[in-house]
Amino acid sequence: MRELGIGVVGFGWMGQVHARAFSRLPQHYPGLSLRPRLVAVADTASDDRAERASQAFGFEYRFRDWRELVARDDIDVVCVTGPNFIHREVAVAAAAAGKHLWVEKPAGRGAGETRQIAEAVEAAGVQAAAGFNYRNAPAVEHARELVRSGRLGRVEHTAVRFCSDYSAHPDGALTWRFQNEYAGSGVLGDLVSHAVDLTRFVVGELSELVVDRATFIPERPAAVGAASHFSRGADGPRRPVENEDYVAALLRLRDGSRGVLESSRTEVGDQNAYSIEVHGTQGALAWNYRRMGELRVCLDQDVQDAQYATLMVTPAHGELGAFQPGAANPMSYDDLKVVEAYRLAESIVTGRPVGATIRDALVAAETVEAMKVSADERRWVTLEGAT
C-alpha cells in the first residue's frame, strides 16, 4: 500500500471537509491501494485554526505561506479550499510542482483563470478533481442512468434550482464573496456552477442560453475580522455589493431539449434547496438534495395520468454500499466529499480521470461567462463548441 501525502491550503469549513474525507477513505474503501496521510495545512486566518488542524485532524506541519506546503516532497495532493482569489495561483504552482489537485468550485474567478489551471494540470500530467459533489449522490447517478438508457424517452425539458438563504439578511457582512476582485462573481460561481454541472451530468451538454440576473441587497455592512458569508456585519458604513444575488436562465441543450435554471443566495425560507427535474416523452424523474436518498420516478406507464413513485436508493445504486448496508439509510454532504476523494484517488492509481475533473470546472466557468454576457447584453448566447 502506497502512502498518499495530503496538503490542504485554507482550513475553513471546506478545508476541514477535505481533511475528513481523506481521513475516512480507508474506512469506506479498504481495498484502495493508497493510504492518505495528512501532512500539512497552510492557513493565515488564526493560530487557533492552525492548532485545531494539528490537534483534531492530525496534520504534522502548519504553515502561514502555502508555498512552503507546495514545495514539500512528501505531499502528493494539494487541496485548494481557500477563497476564490487564491485558487489559480495555488493550483498552477501545485501542478507545476507535480502535485495532484482537488480544487473547490469555482476553480478560478472566471473562465480565464480556470483555463490556466486546466492547462497547468495537463502540461504537468497530474490528476485534478473539481468540487462538484452533488453528482456523487447515488440517486443522481441513477437518474443519469435512467436518462441515458432511454427510460424517459426523448428528453423534452429540465428544471434545475439551486436556492438558499445564506445571504438573505440585509445585515449580512460584506465578505469577499460580494466583491468581484476576490470572488469573480456572486451566485453564478457559487451555486449556478453546481446547477450547470448537475444538468450536464444528468441530461447532457448545453448549447444556448439567455439570462436575467439581479442584486436584491445592493449594500452591506463591512465585515469584521475573518468573517464567513453567514456572518452579520458591523454598525459602520455600508458598502456596495458588486455581484448578483439571483439568476434565472432559459437553456437549450444539444439534444434539442429545453431547460430552466434558477438560483438565489437570498431566498427567504429556503436552505440548500437544490433540485433537478427531467421530463421526457415516456417518463419523468425528480431529485431534491434535502431528500438525498430518494428519487421520484414516473416510468413505464401510459403517458397521460401517469403517477410518480418514490425510489429509495439501495447499496446497488452508486456508492451507497460503501457507506450504508441498506435502503433508507441516509448519506450526508460529507459522504459525497468522501466519494469525491475516492474518485481522485482512483484517478491517481489508474492515471485516468474519474469523477468531476478540472475540465468540468472549465465548462462550468465558460457557461457562467456566457451567462454574464447574456445578462449584460440582453440576448441569447451560443456556448463554445455547441455548433
Regarding whether 147 and 125 lie in a shared domain, the answer is no
For residue 73, pLDDT over 70 is answered with yes
The answer to whether residues 179 and 39 belong to one domain is: no
pLDDT value at residue 233: 73
99 and 220 part of one domain: no
Q: Is residue 123 part of a domain?
A: yes
Other CB atoms within a 10 A radius of the CB of residue 295 amount to 25
* 137 closest CA partner among 31, 280, 349, 290: 290
Q: What is the domain-level CATH number for residue 296?
A: 3.30.360.10
Question: Does any domain span residue 162?
Answer: yes
> Of the given ranges (221-230, 242-251, 261-270, 352-361), which has the lowest mean pLDDT?
221-230
Is there a single domain that holds both residue 228 and residue 307? yes
Burial class of residue 128 (count of CB atoms within 10 Å of its CB; 0-12, 13-18, 19+): buried
pLDDT at 114: 98
Domain boundary pick from 93, 116, 133 = 133
Q: What is the DSSP string of 178-191?
A: G-HHHHSSSHIIII
Of all residues in the chain, what percent carry a pLDDT higher than 90? Answer: 91
Task: Read off the CATH number of the domain in which 60 is found.
Answer: 3.40.50.720
Residues 100, 38, single domain; the answer is: yes
**285 belongs to a structural domain:** yes
pLDDT tens for 266-313 read 999 999 999 999 999 999 999 999 999 999 999 999 999 999 999 999
The confidence band for 32, taking pLDDT boundaries of 50, 70 and 90, is very high
Do 128 and 139 share a structural domain?
A: no
Same domain, 78 and 140: no
CA neighbor of 275 nearest in space, from 187, 356, 190, 194: 194
Same domain assignment for residues 287 and 189: yes
From 133, 166, 184, the end of a domain falls on 133
Query: What confidence category does residue 227 fall into, taking pLDDT thresholds of 50, 70 and 90?
Result: low
Rounded CA-CA distance 247/195 in Å is 11
Domains of the chain: total: 2
End of a domain among 83, 115, 133? 133
Domain extent at residue 376: 135-331+357-382
CB-based contact 173:345 (threshold 8 Å): no
Compute the residue count for the chain.
387
Q: How many CB atoms lie within 10 A of CB 347?
A: 19
Which residues lie below 8 Å from residue 72, measured CB to CB, with a gap of 6+? 5, 7, 39, 40, 61
Q: Is residue 244 part of a domain?
A: yes
Over the stretch 100-122, which tens digit does the pLDDT of each residue have? 999 999 999 999 999 999 999 99
Closest residue by Cα to residue 218 from 238, 233, 247:
238
Cβ proximity of 192 and 247 under 8 Å: yes
Mean predicted confidence (pLDDT) in 309-324: 97
| pLDDT over 70 percentage in the chain | 97
Phi, psi of 317 (to 5 degrees): -100, 125
**What is residue 299's predicted lDDT score, i.e. its pLDDT?**
98
CA distance 286 to 277: 4
Per-residue pLDDT tens over the stretch 154-202: 999 999 999 999 999 999 999 999 999 999 999 999 999 999 999 999 9
Residues 231 and 154 in one domain: yes
User: Do 129 and 151 fall into the same domain?
Assistant: no
Statement to judge: residues 186 and 280 lie in one domain: yes
Residue 217 has pLDDT above 70, yes or no: yes
Residue 248 and residue 321 in one domain: yes
Residue 345 resides in a domain? no
Q: Is 343 within the bounds of a domain? A: no
pLDDT confidence of 386, banded at 50, 70, 90? Answer: low
Average pLDDT over the chain, rounded to whole?
Answer: 95
The b-or-e profile of 359-371 (16+ CB within 10 A means b, else e) is ebbbbbbbbbbbb
- pLDDT reading at 54 higher than 90: no
